[in-house]
Amino acid sequence: HTRFALIAGCLGGLVLLRLSTTRNAAGKAVAFLSVPAVSALCWIGFFISIYGSPDPSFPYANEEGSALFIPGGLAGLFFDQRFGLLAYAPVLLCAFAGLAVMVRDRATRRVGLELFFILVPYLLAVTHFAMWWGGTSAPARFVVPMLPMLTIPAAVSWTAIRHRATRATALAALATTAFVSASLVFVRHGQLAYSTRQGYAAWLEWLSPATDLTRGLPAWWRGREAALYGQIAVWVVSAGLAWMVLRRVERSRWTRSRGALAAATTAAYAIAGMAAITALWGFAGLRGNADTPGQFELLRRLGSERRPLLFEVPAMRRLTPHDLLMALRITPPVSTTPGGAGQNDWPLYQIPAVPAGRYRLQPNGDRPSGWVMVGIGRDPFSIVTGPMASPPEPIVLNFPVDVRAIVVRGDEQARRSITGITIEPLSIVAPARRIGPGVAIHAVRYEAATVYFLDDRSFPEPEAFWIGGARTSSIVIQPDIPRPSVPLVVRNGPVANRAQLRSGDWILDLPLAPGEERRISVPADTARAATLLTVTVTGGFRPSAADPNSRDTRFLGLWVRPAALSP
């Protein structure tokens, strides 16, 4: 990756600096630089061949960069609950403390400064851009290349510890890191490890569905960095006070044993964590309970358990899934998550991880009015759009597949008049009738069907969508009216290509000439009222390469549009 060039350059500079103190330094430097020089020429040649420019930053020309992003980016890169390094691995605080110890100690100062020489420019470079989190990814994606070399300062830090309270704190941080890592890897087949910047950390919602932990830990939002700094300060002060208390009691008679000190450490940091979370709830005006995630977790269990056992408490009356759905009324809190297009794009309501099924949304208020849009993501697309009637009519959503979220937006009039919404689950898709295991991350309402995108290898657009070049992508097509087949119009780009469409046992191979357009019919899955379609494209093109005036650097393969029944 282009950003690794900075790491390589810093390492190379340090190697040359050390070679300068040896015999025949110039000859050794030439020998050392020969392979990187050839590699650099090939690297530049790659960009000339693919992008028509020797500039390695050309693919990122559309990325917004500014030195003003660096403070917030650094804070998020280390402390954000979704992508922050220390939020998932607090034990690495020892490594950064070890760097300070190395610089202070004359025997290790040179190595410590060399590590700073590599680490600091790289961190400044990756946080200079607005997308420091690295897209939908595992935590601290851009810091991971730096972690192996932090083993040295981590070891220095461990050997430098002189107090029992500090060593117990380091061990508690290690235990927390191990627990969080195991949760990300083993729960839900690793799905909790991948977050998006539009929501909160999934592993916190899993950890305690009935408690709003996500609002009690630092979270980065664009344009609200000051709030992030305050949240970090609350946690730092709370943890610092807990450490100070442990330092006071570490020599007490009742903490002399390891077990007693471990219990005191657990209690001190548990109280500090609860105090920090409660303080952040208070600043945000929240109660701290979270009914909605628990209710949707129950719905997800209904959609995954083949023989659920349900009881009404405290009557201990046996319930059927239908009884439970009829009794369940979900009233989600107003969303405080910023929108993708600034403050005016904030969603009214955002309910994550919704299982496949039918739902009825009822806007509440004295006289709800205005324009309402309902989608499943933080993109500009919606599956229901229109003005509210008077009185407002319920909005019925029918999801053939699990979706990332229900996101409700509204215009200024809707924001003023809607005081809440009620979600009634009408039915949940049973495990035997599920169309597939995927989760839709985008959904677009087209002319005759709604298309759900199960991965990021497609590019939704208002009138149609592109399958990425040289990729395989899966979508779910839900026609407005049940029919034996789903008509599609496909169009190739300006290069020869080949596509394969697969739906169940049906397979269609399409050799396509440049610009060729075809109308095809995909057999529909009438039993599920939706069809899972997998499209594989072997080639592709970049609009910026085909048109010098275009700045679209996406690698596109096949254009697809759901069509009406008549040609």
Task: Tell me the per-residue pLDDT of 303-321, one tens digit each, with 9 for 90 and over.
Answer: 888 888 888 888 888 998 8
Q: Which residues on neighbouring strands pair with residue 371, listed in sequence order?
A: 387
* Axis-axis angle for helices 25-51, 4-19 (nearest 10): 170
The predicted structure's pLDDT at residue 339: 56
The predicted structure's pLDDT at residue 437: 84
Closest CA to 325 of 296, 292, 354: 296
Residue 458: which residues within 8 A CB-CB, separation 6 or more? 442, 465, 466, 467, 468, 473, 475
DSSP-derived pairing of the beta strands 357-364 and 395-399: antiparallel
The predicted structure's pLDDT at residue 416: 86
* Amino acid at site 199: G
Closest CA to 356 of 452, 223, 480, 218: 452
Closest CA to 40 of 30, 52, 54, 29: 54
The predicted structure's pLDDT at residue 345: 63
The predicted structure's pLDDT at residue 337: 67
Q: Express each pLDDT in 241-276 by its tens digit.
A: 999 999 999 888 888 899 999 999 999 999 999 999
3-state secondary structure of 256: coil
| Beta strand spans in 130-274 (E) | none
How many C-beta atoms lie closer than 10 Å to residue 477's C-beta?
23
Q: Which residues in the chain land under pLDDT 50?
A: 341-343, 566-567
The predicted structure's pLDDT at residue 566: 46
Angstrom distance (rounded) from CA 102 to CA 484: 71
| The pair of three-digit structure tokens given for residue 6, joined into one six-digit string | 């900075």
Q: Which residues on neighbouring strands pair with residue 398, listed in sequence order?
A: 358
The predicted structure's pLDDT at residue 341: 47
DSSP 48: H
The predicted structure's pLDDT at residue 540: 94
**Phi first, then psi: what are they for 413, rounded to 5°?**
-65, -40
Angstrom distance (rounded) from CA 376 to CA 393: 20
